[in-house]
Amino acid sequence: MSFVTAVIDVRTPEEFATGHLDGAVNIDWQGATFFDEIAQFDPAGTYVIYCRSGNRAGQAIDAMTELGFMNLTNAGGVSDAAAVTGLPVVQ
């Protein structure tokens, strides 16, 4: 995979604590601060987004696209994202 600015886990903090990709940033798609937290990232960057199944990641990607982000990959669930990125799952 080419250079990625950040890997973003959009699950809840509780889900994130059960296992996430090494180095992933947790920004809860359903949390009150999602848009404030995402605004801290460079829209020109390249991001891999994942959740439990890919559904919330898709919703987050749609919202991020509206904010001007262009290089976004929905990596699906945790195990799929690990396969796509080559990153290990850690707790």
Query: Any catalytic annotation for residue 4?
Result: no
Catalytic residue among 7, 8, 48, 51: 51
Helix, coil or strand: residue 15? helix
Q: How long is the chain?
A: 91
In this structure, what token pair is assigned to residue 71?
């290089």
CA angle 30, 53, 14 (to 5 degrees): 50
> Containing H/E element for 4?
none
Active site residues: 51
